[in-house]
């Protein structure tokens, strides 16, 4: 079947993938691309060139979970989903969706692979964490609803991910296949609830690479007919497009039949395969041999065609919208409203003119700090920063040069990292160091789960490491009442 290649969506990394290779994929007949990185004009030029070469309208998607600026310089980057939930304002979720859609459209990207509707229920999960709105199915559903409405308002296609729920995993599926020993009842009570609540708003659902024996003892969820066709489509009644998570992820990439099994199982789009040419041949062999029913292929193509027709005004807008003042203001307001005390101080921990020591675990010199904006804002507020290595803190304490020590912790999800928290040795060293300090204030510019196991007088979480978040956190140090966020997860 000549047009089966339309359900293949290769990944394209600007500055890494050969553009001529992408043109050959278009000649092969792919239906679209998943884009990573790129500069605005570069992305637009790439999309325009490939659209002219393609026999069918190409659909371009991207992981703009926190706005276009997460991947594209000049675009607006927003605080994490968890930060948005911490504001308590669903209007911010709506605005995040609106701004992301506007900027994506300007580039020619009409499919945003968001929102994440997994639950932040496992503190050790290395890949979800602050990408989730909350550990509450109700809160996730509420904020995701507003975000989806924002994308829809601007005519951009959405995608819920990662079905049936990646929140309870302790492993990164970019590196290995996570095993979730949850019963079907447990999944229905929690993990699956956001998908059930949001299915009528969802244009697409991305199926994660997970091993869940209670659903399928043989296949991962992304390759499982029992999960996709029987559970998601028939039992839950979902009628939209189904897309796999990236097939190049190590959870499934070593199996040459993964793409064919996913299509047979009910997936309509096979996302980011390692070798698109090889995948097409595998699909063609499966169709010829009858292992992939032709009606399954036709169903996928029909779903994709319907998907394309629902794109409103498929044209590129002005690039002036990227990083515009309105979107920048929304991002700033979100960052300020998200600040949440895990342990509020009884009085301002630091005063203008006071000497304090700033420390980041594992960082040995000031030039490597991730919290440069935080420190810069403190200095603007008149705080005198004593900095350096843990050994210099020892000297500072011995000389009675400082009363307070601020610890900035930057732990957030990162694909292929396999971990999110400070390692055991780093935590041990930090605990030993803090025992000698008179006043200890911990700041998390990411995960809300990093505070456990430490002794401290005050702890503040920003759920984001953006410059707006760092500067707002610095201001809250002198005026604690400025941090008015609502804690979105249970500790």
**Structure-token pair, residue 189:** 């009570």
Number of other CB atoms surrounding residue 342 within 10 Å? 18
Query: CA 436 → CA 82, 354, 356, distances in Å?
Result: 33, 19, 14
State residue 390's pLDDT score.
59
Domains of the chain: 2-321 (3.20.20.300), 339-482 (3.40.50.1700)
Q: CA 482, CA 484: separation in Å to the nearest integer? A: 6
Residues 445-477 pLDDT 10s? 999 999 988 888 999 999 999 999 999 999 999
- Is the Cβ–Cβ distance between 471 and 486 less than 8 Å? no
State residue 399's pLDDT score.
52
State residue 396's pLDDT score.
58
Exposure letters 189-217 (e unless 16+ CB within 10 A, then b): ebbbbbbebbbebbbbbbbbbbbbeebbe
**Structure-token pair, residue 274:** 């390692």
Q: CA 306, CA 288: separation in Å to the nearest integer? A: 26
* Active-site amino acid positions: 174, 245
With a cut of 50, list the residues of the chain below it in pLDDT.
Answer: 398
Return the closest-CA partner of residue 463 out of 444, 478, 435.
444
State residue 425's pLDDT score.
79
- Give the pTM: 0.94
Which residues does residue 61 pair with via DSSP β-bridges, in sequence order? Answer: 34, 111
Long-range Cβ contacts of 435-438 (<8 Å, 24+ apart): 436/394, 436/397, 437/357, 437/393, 437/397, 437/404, 437/405, 438/403, 438/404
Q: CA 474, CA 427: separation in Å to the nearest integer? A: 23
| Residue 402 CB partners (closer than 8 Å, separation 6+) | 355, 356, 357, 386, 393, 396
Q: CA 109, CA 78: separation in Å to the nearest integer? A: 18
| Residue 13 CB partners (closer than 8 Å, separation 6+) | 36, 37
State residue 453's pLDDT score.
84
Q: CA 132, CA 120: separation in Å to the nearest integer? A: 6
- Is the Cβ–Cβ distance between 439 and 403 less than 8 Å? yes
| Residue 305 CB partners (closer than 8 Å, separation 6+) | none
What are the two backbone dihedrals, phi and then psi, of residue 157, each rounded to the nearest 5 degrees?
-75, 145
State residue 71's pLDDT score.
98
Q: CA 229, CA 425: separation in Å to the nearest integer? A: 46
State residue 256's pLDDT score.
74
- Is the Cβ–Cβ distance between 437 and 397 less than 8 Å? yes
CB half-sphere exposure, 258, CA atoms < 13 A? 26
Q: Give a three-class secondary structure readout of the chain.
A: CHHHHHHEECEEECCCCCHHHHHHHHHHCCCEEEEECCCHHHHHHHHHHHHHHCCCCCEEEECCCCCHHHCCCCCCCCCCHHHHHHHCCHHHHHHHHHHHHHHHHHHCCCEECCCECCCCCCCCCCCCHHHCCCCCHHHHHHHHHHHHHHHHHCCCECCEEEECCCCCCCCCCCCCCCECCCCHHHHHHHHCHHHHHHCCCCCEEEECCCECCCCCCCCCHHHCHHHHHHHHHHHCCCCCEEEECCCCCCCCCCCCCHHHHHHHHCCCEEECCCCHHHHHHHHHHHHHHCCCCHHHHHHHHHHHHHHHHCCCCCCCCCHHHCCCHHHHHHHHHHHHHHCEEEECCCCCCCCCCCEEEEECCCCCCHHHCCCHHHHHHHHHCCCEEEECCHHHHHHHHHCCCCCEEEEEECCCCCCCCCCCCCCHHHHHHHHHHHCCCCEEEEEECCCCCCCCCCCCCEEEECCCCCHHHHHHHHHHHHCHHHCCCCCCCCC
Q: CA 400, CA 410: separation in Å to the nearest integer? A: 28
Residues 95-146 pLDDT 10s? 999 999 999 999 999 999 999 999 999 888 888 999 999 999 999 999 999 9
């Amino acid at each position: 079947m000549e047009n089966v290649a339309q359900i293949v969506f290769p990944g394209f990394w600007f500055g890494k993938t050969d553009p001529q290779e992408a043109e050959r994929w278009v000649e092969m007949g792919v239906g679209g691309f998943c884009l990573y990185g790129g500069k605005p004009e570069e992305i637009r030029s790439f999309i325009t060139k490939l659209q002219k070469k393609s026999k069918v309208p190409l659909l371009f998607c991207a992981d703009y979970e926190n706005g276009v600026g997460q991947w594209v310089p000049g675009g607006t980057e927003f605080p994490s989903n968890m930060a948005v939930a911490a504001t308590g304002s669903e209007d911010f979720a709506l605005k995040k969706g609106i701004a992301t859609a506007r900027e994506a459209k300007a580039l020619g990207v009409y499919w945003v692979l968001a929102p994440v509707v997994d639950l932040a229920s496992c503190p050790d999960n290395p890949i979800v964490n602050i990408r989730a709105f909350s550990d509450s199915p109700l809160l996730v559903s509420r904020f995701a609803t507003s975000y989806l409405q924002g994308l829809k308002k601007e005519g951009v296609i959405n995608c819920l991910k990662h079905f049936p729920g990646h929140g309870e995993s302790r492993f990164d599926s970019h590196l290995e296949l996570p095993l979730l020993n949850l019963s079907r009842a447990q999944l229905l009570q929690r993990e699956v609830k956001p998908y059930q609540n949001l299915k009528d708003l969802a244009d697409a659902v991305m199926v994660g690479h997970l091993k869940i024996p209670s659903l399928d003892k043989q296949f991962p969820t992304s390759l499982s007919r029992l999960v996709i066709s029987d559970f998601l489509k028939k039992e839950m009644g979902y009628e939209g497009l189904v897309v796999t998570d990236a097939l190049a992820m190590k959870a499934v990439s070593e199996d040459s039949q993964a793409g064919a099994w996913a299509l047979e199982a009910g997936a309509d789009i096979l996302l980011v395969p390692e070798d698109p040419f090889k995948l097409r041949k595998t699909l063609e062999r499966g169709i010829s041999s009858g292992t992939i029913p032709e009606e399954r292929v036709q169903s996928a193509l029909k779903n994709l065609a319907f998907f394309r027709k629902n794109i409103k005004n498929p044209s590129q807008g002005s690039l002036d919208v990227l990083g515009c003042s309105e979107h920048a203001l929304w991002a700033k307001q979100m960052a300020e409203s998200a600040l949440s005390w895990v342990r509020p101080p009884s009085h301002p921990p630091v005063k203008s003119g006071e000497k304090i020591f700033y420390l980041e675990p594992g960082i040995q010199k000031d030039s490597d700090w991730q919290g440069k904006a935080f420190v810069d804002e403190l200095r603007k507020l008149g705080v005198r920063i004593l900095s350096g290595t843990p050994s210099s803190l020892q000297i500072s304490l011995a000389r009675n040069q400082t009363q307070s020590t601020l610890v900035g912790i930057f732990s957030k999800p990162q694909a292929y990292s396999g971990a999110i928290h400070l390692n055991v040795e780093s935590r041990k060293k930090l605990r030993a160091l803090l025992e000698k300090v008179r006043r200890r204030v911990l700041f998390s510019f990411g995960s809300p789960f990093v505070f456990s196991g430490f002794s401290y007088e005050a702890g503040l979480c920003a759920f984001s490491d953006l410059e707006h978040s760092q500067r707002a956190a610095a201001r809250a140090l002198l005026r604690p009442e400025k941090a008015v966020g609502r804690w979105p997860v249970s500790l």
